[in-house]
Amino acid sequence: MASPKLQAEHIHTAFMRDGKSMPVLQDINLEVADGEFVCLLGPSGCGKSTLLSTMAGFLSPSSGEIKIDGQVVRGPDPRRIFVFQERGVFPWLTVEGNIAFGLFRLDEAERKKRVAHYVKMVGLEGFEKAYPAALSGGMKQRLEVARALAVNPDMLFLDEPFGALDSITRLTMRGELLRIWEAERKTIIFVTHDIDEAVQLSDRVVLLSARPATIQQIVHIDIPHPRDISSARYLELRDGIFKQIGLAHRL
Amino acid sequence: MSSLAEPKKWERFFWPLLACAIFVSLWHYSVLWTATKVFPSPRDVEKGIAELIHKQVLWRDIIDSLRRVAFGFGAAVVAGIPLGLTLGWYPAANQVVNPLLQILRPISPIAWIPVAIILLGVGDHAATFLIFLGAFFPIVVASVDGVSNVPSMFRLAGRNFGLGPIRLLTRVIFPAALPKMIVGLRIALGIAWLVVVAAEMVAVDSGLGYLVIDSRNSGKRYDLVVAAMLIIGLIGLALDLAFRRLERLRSVRWGFRHES
Amino acid sequence: MIVRLRPLALIVVLLLLWQITVSRAPAHILPTPWAVAIGMGELLQHGLLLKYVVASLFRVTWGFVLAVVLAVPLGLVIGWNRRADMAFNPLIQVLRPISPLAWIPIAILWFGVGDLAAIFLIFLGCFFPLLLTSINAVQNIPAVYLNAGRNFGLSPAAVVARVLFPAVIPQLIVGMRITLGVGWLVVVAAEMIAVNSGLGFLIVDARNAGDRYDLVVAGMVIIGLIGLMLDIGMRSLQQLKSLRWSYSED
């Protein structure tokens, strides 16, 4: 691909547990293009969150390196914002306060403008002065996304952001995320264990094996958005992943 | 919790009043029946309070006690919070200093009196020092606790948005640790109030603690003793309630599960 | 191994500083650490130390146990019954901030100077915190536990014994540990003022009968160490497996 946005080269990561070395990531090699939406899919505990944290610069790999825009990643950076689950919003700040959190280098007028823009974008008008305790799970998640977007990053890392939400809210939020992605075209790397979520959202699905994680397969989802989840191609791709992971069709 | 019917609004006043009325009656009648010559009846205490207010001594004593608490507690806050924040932020430092704190903490501030008197002489300074000692440890412990329990998610998010160490401390760590710190401050204030009364019984000659001891020593005025005790209780309660107001501020309220 | 020694190193450094400052000071009133150590040896030799430690521990134990026996059941009842809570709360809130020491004249009036007065003061110091802890513990039981108990057809008495009690014990133990510490603080203070034996008395007596500040500080150190041991002892109770479920980390 033409000058990838993110390159993961020979990433090996092992943790020390009780004096023994426990490998978590094994020889991960991946390239992500600018503006792409990529899902890391795998069973719980396989190490996909570790991989995401490494890409974001919160963890150092035991060997190998992550390069973003050609530069080696050495730490977190506002150009690539990590979105946790909804409990990542700061409970002591209002909605406005949270969104404005990363904007401390701007002057007041510019800050107000940006905050208003992103409040509107995620649909939280009317709640500007509310504290997170007064918001629902879905609203808090939207707040966290708004906070991330407000600093205009190139990349977003999302770690199972919708995991704590009910399934109906989850469906709505997926649509919201796609809408925002199409408007702003950030590069998004999204961790999930939900196969449908991965096939609905991403351009490519990276299947990770159980620990120690290696890349089992990369599935290219070639359906244009908006995706019809009852279309034949969708079901074909989805079933393919089911089989690859080794799951049966009947409960 | 087990009450089958939801208590009505009027019950919020009825039950406490009933309990107090029963308490005061029991007190009154036990004084009557034992025909004690010394222990005051509720009536005596009431008159005692009036006498204290009339004599103007009471206000001066209250102000003296509050002043010592203010200085001792203030000093403990100024010294304790930065120390607690530092120890909470650098676990290595905490590991070194903590054992020393754990040994010093169980030593009652009152046991420090002789040392305090050597260093500072009899009087206000010694009392303030004792209050400082009493309030210092809970504040440090609560600050360490508050900082070490800040979810790593908040710290990581702060770094992610490009906050330098100072901004990280003031805009993430401090607000996140604040609820626990405020509880520690409230507890420390309660302890300070206990210590000031005790310190005044031994090391100085003004204040509410002194009033308690003096009323007995110069004339066995037990009515004034009990009156002073009651006032001590009420002011201590007022201090506690004032602090709980702080806990209800919305930028801090998130850290408390119940409004206790 | 080296890391473990660092706190010790800090203490040694502080002791050295103490030693140096005092030796340099013109008026040799404050004792040096060395003098304190010798003082401790002296106390041990005379058999006085053991006697005083036993006296203090004796009073604390009695006062504390009495407080537990009275405060815990009362607290559980008040926490359980909303109306009882409404009734007693104001009384408790007014009595609680009164330092146990402020009760000394009353204690001496009722019990005279001696063990009983000291035990009464310790009891007072332990009673209110324990009462509040018990009330709080009951009120914090998740409703789901109680509902499950009733769902399985337990009688109210059985719910109390098999659900309420196990659920409150972890919090009660933490409360008891803290309250024991308070009791230890009170006994020392009470002994300084109201009785004629014990570690608190040692401190006052050493000073009054000859300005023996080395013994004063020796007493303080011993008080600190015993208080620490009491605390560690209680913490090991929290380690019992049947109770560990409630402590994520301590």
Tell me the nearest-neighbour CA distance from B161 into chain C, angstroms.
30
What burial letters (b/e) apply to A59-88, b meaning 16+ CB within 10 Å?
bebeebebebeeeebeebbbebbbbbbbeb
Contacts of B201 in chain C (CB under 8 A): 101-102, 104, 193
Tell me the nearest-neighbour CA distance from A71 into chain B, angstroms.
17
> With contact defined as beta carbons under 8 Å apart, do B180 and B255 qualify?
yes
**C249 confidence band (pLDDT: 50, 70, 90):** very low
Nearest CA in chain C to B15: C87
Q: Kindly tell me whether chain B and chain C come into contact, counting contact as 3+ Cβ pairs under 8 Å.
A: yes
Give residue C250's pLDDT: 36
Contacts of B176 in chain A (CB under 8 A): 90, 92
> With contact defined as beta carbons under 8 Å apart, do C184 and C226 qualify?
yes
* Phi/psi of residue A27, nearest 5 degrees: 45, 60
**A248 confidence band (pLDDT: 50, 70, 90):** low
Nearest CA in chain C to B94: C7
Helix (H) or strand (E) holding A132: none
> Which residues sit opposite A30 in a β-bridge?
A8
In chain A, what percentage of residues exceed pLDDT 90?
62
Tell me the nearest-neighbour CA distance from A78 into chain B, angstroms.
5
Please judge whether B153 and A87 are an interchain contact, meaning their C-beta atoms are less than 8 angstroms apart.
yes
Contacts of C80 in chain B (CB under 8 A): 1-2
Of the CATH numbers 3.40.50.300, 1.10.150.130, 2.40.50.100, 3.40.50.620, which one belongs to the domain with range A1-79+155-251? 3.40.50.300
Please judge whether B172 and A88 are an interchain contact, meaning their C-beta atoms are less than 8 angstroms apart.
no
**C3 confidence band (pLDDT: 50, 70, 90):** low
C98 Cβ under 8 Å from any chain B Cβ: yes
In chain B, what percentage of residues exceed pLDDT 90?
40
Amino acid symbol at C156: P
Fold of B41-253: MetI-like fold (1.10.3720)
Give residue C248's pLDDT: 45
pLDDT in tens, B154-164: 999 999 999 99
**C243 confidence band (pLDDT: 50, 70, 90):** low
Domain boundaries, chain B: 41-253
Best mutation target among C74, C185, C234, C250 (most B Cβ atoms within 10 Å) is C185
Please judge whether B251 and A101 are an interchain contact, meaning their C-beta atoms are less than 8 angstroms apart.
no
Please judge whether B162 and A131 are an interchain contact, meaning their C-beta atoms are less than 8 angstroms apart.
no
Helix (H) or strand (E) holding C90: helix C82-95
**Is pLDDT of C102 > 80?**
yes
Span(s) in chain A for CATH 3.40.50.300: 1-79+155-251
Tell me the nearest-neighbour CA distance from A102 into chain B, angstroms.
5
Highest mean pLDDT among C42-56, C68-82, C198-212: C68-82
The arithmetic mean of pLDDT across residues C59-88, rounded, is 92
Give residue C1's pLDDT: 60
Give residue A250's pLDDT: 59
Level-2 CATH architecture, domain C38-243: Orthogonal Bundle (1.10)
Task: Please calculate the CA angle A130-A133-A139 and round it to the nearest 5 degrees.
Answer: 70
Residues 217-236 of C with CB under 8 A from B: 217, 219-220, 223-228, 230-231
Tell me what ipTM this predicted complex has. 0.85
Give residue B252's pLDDT: 80
Helix (H) or strand (E) holding A19: none
**Mean pLDDT computed over every residue of chain B:** 87
Tell me the nearest-neighbour CA distance from C169 into chain B, angstroms.
18
Residues 129-158 of C with CB under 8 A from B: 136, 138-140, 146, 156
Report the distance separating Cα B114 and Cα B120, nearest Å. Answer: 10
